[in-house]
Amino acid sequence: MPIKLPPSFSLAGKTALVTGGAGYLGAEIADALAEQGADIIVASRDIEKCRTKADDIMKNFPDRKAYAVELELLDKDSITAAIDACTELAGGFDILVMCAWSGRKNTWDSINDEDWDYDIEVCLSGVFRTIKAATSMLRERRGVILNIGSMYGHVAPDWKIYEGVPHANPPSYGAAKAGIIQFTKYLASFLSPDGIRVNCISPGPFPFPSVIEAHPEFIERLAAKNPMGRIGQAHEIKGAAALLCSDASSYMTGQNICVDGGWAVW
């Protein structure tokens, strides 16, 4: 009998750890997985924001459980403690979403060694360490990993967009996100014998509301660069996340899905 689409998207009985789950895009991903039936663990360095988001999930989805866990990607002990806390609070997790991010805004002229090291540590090394710490659990559950990359992991920023705007895109960001895309492919290969699927979403232009309000000329340039003629709205990340975390994508692994309005087609 053919598999029907609605049941294949179901995450009932699953638990998802969403790092950065209280952030701009991470919160939408957490909601998307909760909508499909998953219990949610929200993790980031800001435990109060995580608690607020967990409460919000349980308010909006009364039959779901949601938990808050503190996670500092720069601290190996914090990563280990966070994985242990997930086991204590929720009995573990089946889905790991790596959406946590923190970076420093720089140009090529302004970036220094400290800035570069910080961005690479958070955006790439922290992802490596968290997935490494979670692998044994995901092996037991034949779980799913979803990494969040970026359009700048596979195309270069157009310097003209950023001219005169204090929101330059640093070289460390794209380098780290390119690493995430390749790391996704590596993991998809080497974790496939364990039944673990690993995929990536590369968002396009999803500027924060504060940036939209403060720099309308910058937003106009972003929109003009895009075939769809507009920037993304945060909720537009949800469909791809639900697909890649559910059995609807059961024959997909090692893929980088671009949710970018067609940014890189021309």
pLDDT of residue 6: 67
Domain boundaries along the sequence of the chain: 5-258
- Residue 147 one-letter amino acid: N
First and final C-alpha spacing in the chain = 42
Angle of helix 113-120 versus helix 171-190 axis, rounded to 10: 30
Which range (1-10, 62-71, 142-151, 255-264) has the least confidence? 1-10
Which one is predicted more confidently, 216 or 103? Answer: 216
Tens-place pLDDT, residues 30-59: 999 999 999 999 999 999 999 999 999 999
Which one is predicted more confidently, 1 or 18? Answer: 18
- The maximal CA–CA distance of the chain, rounded, in angstroms, is 60
Pick the closest to residue 94 from 29, 145, 148, 44 (CA basis).
Answer: 145
- Backbone phi, then psi, for 101, in 5-degree steps? -155, 145
Percent of the chain scoring above 70 in pLDDT: 97
5-258 CATH, one of 3.40.50.10420, 3.40.140.10, 3.40.50.720, 1.25.40.10: 3.40.50.720
pLDDT of residue 1: 59
Q: Is residue 1 helix, strand or coil? A: coil
Tens-place pLDDT, residues 207-259: 999 989 989 999 999 999 999 999 999 999 999 999 999 999 999 999 999 99
